[in-house]
Amino acid sequence: MKKILLLLIAALFLLSGALYSVGSDKQVDDEYDEDTYGPEDPIIWTMPVKSVVFEHKVHTMGAELECDSCHDDLFEMEAGVAEENEDFTMATLYDGGYCGSCHDGSTAFASNTRCTACHIGVRGHARLQGEDESAEAHH
């Protein structure tokens, strides 16, 4: 009997710990929570063209996608992996690969439209890096 009581107390202890951590998560809800929505900083690819941007916020917080709709079938959880692949091109996107698995005109806007939504170009890249454009011109 005593043993059961001890177990119960231990269980309650653990539970209150769990509840406490849920509570403390709530406190930072106003801010962007990377555990819930993925990295806050945009991911920027510069190969083969400069520059294409991806924002977790738009996709998770905004479009309410789960992590596993992209990880790890379409993308690794590591920035810069996809751009190492030779097939990271518009042709593959149009065939339904990478971003094109959703950006096909039904789940999300089609990859052959709104080029500048994804392509922020050299100026957009400089802006996100906090460089000024004249500095960029020397690269």
Site string for ligand HEC, 2-41 (x = CB under 6 A): -----------------------------------xxx--
**CB within 8 A of 51, min separation 6: which ones?**
44, 45, 119, 120, 121, 122, 124, 125
> Is 125 near ligand HEC (CB under 6 A)?
no
For ligand HEC, give the closer residue by CB, 17 or 71.
71
> What minimum distance in Å lies between the beta carbon of 137 and ligand HEC?
20
Distance CA 82, CA 102 (A): 16
Q: Quick one: which segment of 2-10, 12-20, 84-92, 124-132 binds ligand HEC (CB under 6 A)?
A: 84-92
Which of 85-95 are b and which e, b meaning 16 or more Cβ less than 10 Å from the residue's Cβ?
Answer: eeebeeebbee
